[in-house]
């Protein structure tokens, strides 16, 4: 072969992407092992020995073409598969984009609902301030004590936020108690005290049946915030863990704040005296009134309670 030998033709065919799949049969002399190796290196698919038998050539060529046909089919199939995958990926990306857009909308509208609840809660608590000696700053401090305590007890941010907004409604039931009893400077007689105690169940009724977790928590607090760990509280005399944990937190927060504040029957106490009464007891308050775990948490947090009181004084 003057210009280019058969091996070079084979090498070039196999080196070009558009022709590399064309099957090549090399014809060599019998026992010519060296030529066969060169042929294999050049990418030949099969060998025939001289003299070439026409039938054998036909059979081998047909077999190679069958193999090629299958390879072509596989190649096309893979290409089709790849383009389908690409198309699906585009669709999936689009769907994800739409999903995240609707998630944002959902988040925005649930934020709005939450804002609406918080606004209503603020208005409700203003109502209870009108009736009682409780002031706006008492209610603000209660929120801070309760969420501080919740965080100390390992609650999630979401649950700590819930008690923050729910706790101010604890005395909402006082709207149902006559003002002259609530504001009476002298000690209440037993009938009057029995009436005051009903502010818990009245609060429970006002807050009953809401779908908002803020109001549901507020209802539990309103109903049970005067229960005591030792069972000596009201309205039901619940004991220990039968009292919802939110109310057990509320109880110590309300107690701390009442001791710090002026009442018709007592002057305001300073932080040290209040801490001593809660942790050691006096004629009215006993450490046994409180959940021991929550009392323990209070001992670790009492300086922050003082800080909250001082920051949000009347």
Q: How far is the CB of 203 from Fe ion (least distance, A)?
A: 8
Judged by CB, which is closer to Fe ion: 227, or 254?
A: 254
Q: How far is the CB of 267 from Fe ion (least distance, A)?
A: 18
Only one of the segments 13-21, 35-43, 251-259, 282-290 lies at the binding site for Fe ion (rule: CB under 5 A); that segment is: 251-259
Only one of the segments 21-29, 37-45, 177-185, 250-258 lies at the binding site for Fe ion (rule: CB under 5 A); that segment is: 250-258
Note whether 171 and 134 are within 8 A (CB): yes
Q: How far is the CB of 178 from Fe ion (least distance, A)?
A: 16
Q: How far is the CB of 177 from Fe ion (least distance, A)?
A: 10
Q: How far apart are CA 255 and CA 275, in angstroms?
A: 10
Only one of the segments 71-79, 171-179, 210-218, 264-272 lies at the binding site for Fe ion (rule: CB under 5 A); that segment is: 171-179
Q: How far apart are CA 191 and CA 205, in angstroms?
A: 22
Q: How far apart are CA 261 and CA 283, in angstroms?
A: 17
171 interacts with Fe ion by CB under 5 A: yes
Mention every residue, 6+ apart, whose C-beta is less than 8 A from residue 295.
252, 278, 279, 287
Q: How far is the CB of 102 from Fe ion (least distance, A)?
A: 42
Judged by CB, which is closer to Fe ion: 171, or 291?
A: 171
Prior bond of 103 cis (ω within 30°)? no
Size, binding site for Fe ion by CB under 5 A:
2
Segment 151 to 170, residues that bind Fe ion, using CB under 5 A:
none
Question: Which residue in 161, 227, 254, 291 binds Fe ion (CB under 5 A)?
Answer: 254
Judged by CB, which is closer to Fe ion: 7, or 145?
A: 145
b or e along 172-200 (b: 16 or more beta carbons within 10 Å of the residue's beta carbon)?
bbbbebeeeebeeeeeeeeebeebbeebb
Torsion sign across C-alpha atoms 88, 90, 93, 98: negative
Only one of the segments 158-166, 179-187, 253-261, 265-273 lies at the binding site for Fe ion (rule: CB under 5 A); that segment is: 253-261
Judged by CB, which is closer to Fe ion: 198, or 216?
A: 198
How many residues would you count in the chain? 314
Only one of the segments 15-23, 46-54, 248-256, 289-297 lies at the binding site for Fe ion (rule: CB under 5 A); that segment is: 248-256
Judged by CB, which is closer to Fe ion: 39, or 168?
A: 168
246 interacts with Fe ion by CB under 5 A: no
Q: How far is the CB of 179 from Fe ion (least distance, A)?
A: 15
DSSP 228: -
DSSP 278: H
Q: How far apart are CA 175 and CA 255, in angstroms?
A: 21
Q: What is the dihedral of CA 279, 282, 283, 287, to 10 degrees?
A: 10
Judged by CB, which is closer to Fe ion: 254, or 291?
A: 254
Applying CB under 5 A, the residues found at the interface with Fe ion are 171, 254
């Amino acid at each position: 072969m003057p210009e280019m030998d058969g091996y070079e033709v084979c090498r070039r065919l196999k080196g070009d992407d558009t022709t590399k799949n064309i099957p090549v049969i090399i014809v060599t002399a019998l026992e010519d092992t060296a030529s066969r190796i060169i042929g294999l290196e050049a990418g030949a698919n099969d060998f025939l020995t001289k003299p070439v038998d026409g039938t054998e050539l036909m059979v081998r060529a047909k077999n190679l073409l069958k193999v090629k046909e299958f390879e072509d089919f596989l190649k096309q199939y893979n290409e089709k598969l790849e383009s389908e995958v690409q198309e699906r990926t585009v669709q999936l990306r689009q769907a994800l984009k739409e999903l995240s857009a609707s998630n944002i909308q959902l988040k925005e509208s649930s934020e709005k609902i939450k804002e609406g609840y918080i606004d209503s809660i603020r208005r409700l608590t203003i109502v209870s301030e009108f009736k009682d000696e409780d002031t706006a700053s008492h209610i603000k401090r209660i929120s801070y004590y309760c969420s501080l305590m919740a965080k100390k007890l390992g609650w999630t941010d979401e649950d700590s936020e819930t008690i923050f907004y729910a706790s101010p409604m604890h005395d909402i039931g006082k709207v149902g108690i006559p003002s002259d009893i609530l504001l009476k400077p002298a000690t209440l007689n037993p009938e009057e005290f029995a009436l005051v105690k009903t502010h818990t169940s009245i609060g429970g009724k006002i807050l009953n049946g809401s779908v908002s977790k803020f109001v549901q928590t507020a209802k539990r607090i309103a109903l049970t915030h005067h229960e005591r760990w030792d069972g000596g509280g009201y309205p039901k005399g619940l004991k220990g863990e039968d009292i919802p944990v939110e109310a057990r937190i509320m109880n110590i927060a309300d107690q701390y704040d009442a001791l710090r504040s002026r009442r018709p029957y007592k002057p305001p106490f300073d932080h040290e005296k209040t801490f001593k009464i809660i942790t050691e007891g006096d004629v009215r308050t006993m450490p046994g009134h409180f959940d021991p775990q929550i009392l323990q948490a209070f001992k670790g947090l009492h300086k922050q309670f003082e800080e909250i009181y001082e920051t949000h004084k009347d």
